[in-house]
Structure 1
């Protein structure tokens, strides 16, 4: 019985560690600073005695992002790069602006789950499950609606209305990261060999060469 309880406890702990996102903080805060002395969670920590309210503050999410680009969308991130006090706190946010028919293209957050709230407009959103099923899960969202994108899954948002749309996203990491699928595959530096991509997508190499010659912007 003791061995069984030990095994169950170890299994529960292993599952928790496997599912956890950013590490839990062991202190009140660890404000990121390039000249700090202690390195925690990818950032140097500022001397706590020198921390100010501005280390936990960001101003500007009331300002629309510039959507005059090929995607017709703009993401304004608020992560540890914008708020140093987010270091070790395991959370961040973003504002996403959409022109009519604008798209936040298929992408992945490798380190965070995203919860999205529509502030204005109508969005068509979705994610694709992993290779066991590759099922597309989609929903049309109206103002005030909320949708969750699980960590590590390809997902997207598109303006489905005739006017502008705005959403706020919260993510379960101070730095969730972004991998835009098309950019990564066709805009890598140096480029992935065209025969590799041609075989992966089951197309002619000329198609891959054309895609690799395009301008791939980060959102």
Structure 2
């Protein structure tokens, strides 16, 4: 199976998503928009994974490649291929599906409880516990795309994840991170770590890796395996 990643900045890598793909012996390819916004033929890939980044979906003037990326995402969806968006990626996919993307009422940065909403049998989150703790780093959010199943919410942000026809999924949060990914975000985006109701300090972000990362990666693997099987 061919899996294509879109990476927007060097410091937000696929993390465990890449490890999972390699361990499953999937073929892997990349578009790194900070190098060149060159996208493959949609027919050559089975799964598109769109990663995060500090830019917004509306920043097309500053990042002109966003327009081409959105067009590519739309082509992939229309071709019936699987798509997973992570953080910025989930917002880009939501916008492509005609949902609104906008600033959340507050930023959400840190390891916060994620409420897992009831899911129908056969969906990738069926059988999950009602709550898990995952890593967040975002200021924007999205409305749910039309016809989407609402998968997750938090106290800070009601729309945390969606699934459309078992084909297109979006996670507002980061289940793929380990220590390197969290440290890189602190290094490059640490100016956002100002006091706030849902903003943790750097020490708490790093401590949370030891407490939660292994568990969240296990649930991410469960999701990915089930997502591709359906």
When the two structures are superposed, what TM-score results if normalisation uses the length of structure 1? 0.30
When the two structures are superposed, what TM-score results if normalisation uses the length of structure 2? 0.29
